[in-house]
Amino acid sequence: MYIDYLNSGINPADAFSSLKLTGTGQSPFRPEYEEYIERYPGRGTLKVQISVAKEAFPLKNVVVDVSQIYNGVRYSLYNDVTDISGIVDNMVLPAKTLESTLNFDTAGVDEAQYLVSVYHPDFEAVSDCCITIQDKIETILPISLVPRTTREEQD
């Protein structure tokens, strides 16, 4: 299960006590990501629904990874496994504020985009589905997986 470090109030030093931190109060996150959070002060949520057979059956135990590329560096923000309903939800992600998206001059410019990848050993992997997150909105991403063929299993 993931932990939302952006909004939980958890001290990173307590959460990552096994890591060796240099100095008191320093974050294990890179400074570039802190800059990204300041640039996108809004928060939106993401829900990923994984299914098979053209969305007929939910699929559990699928690895879902949500990452983001900022200044040429890929940051993995969430890494979780789907539940019995085929869902991973309540992923809170930085986004532009609602006010800036409603402004005609700044709407559509530099939206917060994320990459969603899913993996299950019995199905074809899906890599880097691009999704835009909006402030105060839950975005739902349905993904239908395709089973691996017998020929691919032998390779």
CATH number for the domain spanning 64: value is 2.60.40.10
Domain annotation covers residue 126: yes
Domain annotation covers residue 84: yes
Domain annotation covers residue 139: yes
How far apart CA 106 and CA 42 sit, in angstroms, is: 14
Nearest to 133 by CA among 29, 45, 37: 45
Residue ranges, the chain, pLDDT below 70: 1-30, 101, 104, 106-109, 150-155
Mean pLDDT of the chain: 78
Domain annotation covers residue 140: yes
For residue 46, give its domain range: 41-149
Domain annotation covers residue 120: yes
pTM score of the predicted model: 0.72
Domain count, the chain: 1
Q: Which pLDDT value is given to residue 111? A: 83
Question: DSSP H helical segments within the chain, as ranges?
Answer: 12-15, 31-39, 98-102, 150-154
Domain annotation covers residue 144: yes
Domain annotation covers residue 68: yes
Name the 3-class secondary structure at 81. strand
Q: Which pLDDT value is given to residue 30? A: 64
